[in-house]
């Protein structure tokens, strides 16, 4: 696919402006737990760390220019840190990794996809409440 074609596809990507109040976020706690969060470097990294991961992975499709992404990102990091390694968070910048954005049909950011053993289980689009994010994660975890 040509670069121009990719640009035309992604030019329709919009940034959702739904931004409810943030509750229960602690950026310092999230900063201490950054090892649970990683930025996808390339397709091989995505394959190795997301598709072949035995743990559930939240894939946060984001963009540097997206205001709601800047709200949701730290909240996801804090919530994922609370799961103490039972789930991981992969961040995918749609401007840097257009191929992955196209592959997963991303048309709005932020979009979060829940992956389990390389399979897409569910997704949500936009900023949402912490309890709904936690319920989203709980559905990805194996029964205890």
DSSP calls for 34-102: GGGEEE--SHHHHIIIIIT-SS-EEEEEE-TT-HHHHHHHHHHHHHHHTTTTSSEEEEEETTT-HHHHH
Which CATH architecture group holds 3-140? 3-Layer(aba) Sandwich (3.40)
pLDDT given for residue 115 in this prediction: 98
66: annotated active-site residue: yes
pLDDT given for residue 4 in this prediction: 54
Q: pTM of the predicted model, to two decimals? A: 0.78
13, 30, 36, 66: which is the annotated catalytic residue? Answer: 66
What residue ranges of the chain have pLDDT lower than 70? 1-35
69: annotated active-site residue: yes
Q: Where are the domains of the chain?
A: 3-140
pLDDT given for residue 36 in this prediction: 81
Q: Taking CA 122 as the corner, what is the angle to CA 101 and CA 76, rounded to the nearest 5 degrees? A: 75
59, 69, 79, 113: which is the annotated catalytic residue? Answer: 69
């Amino acid at each position: 696919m040509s670069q121009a074609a990719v640009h035309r596809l992604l030019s329709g990507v919009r940034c959702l402006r739904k931004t409810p109040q943030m509750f229960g976020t602690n950026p310092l706690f999230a900063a201490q737990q950054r090892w649970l969060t990683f930025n996808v470097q390339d397709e091989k990294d995505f394959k190795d760390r997301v598709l072949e991961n035995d743990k559930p992975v939240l894939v946060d499709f984001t963009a540097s220019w997206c205001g709601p992404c800047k709200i949701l990102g730290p909240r996801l990091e804090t919530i994922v840190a609370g799961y103490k390694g039972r789930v991981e968070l992969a961040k995918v910048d749609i401007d840097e990794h257009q191929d992955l954005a196209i592959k997963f049909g991303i048309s709005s950011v932020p979009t979060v996809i829940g992956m389990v053993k390389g399979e897409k289980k569910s997704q949500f689009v936009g900023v949402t409440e912490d309890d709904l994010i936690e319920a989203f994660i709980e559905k990805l975890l194996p029964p205890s």
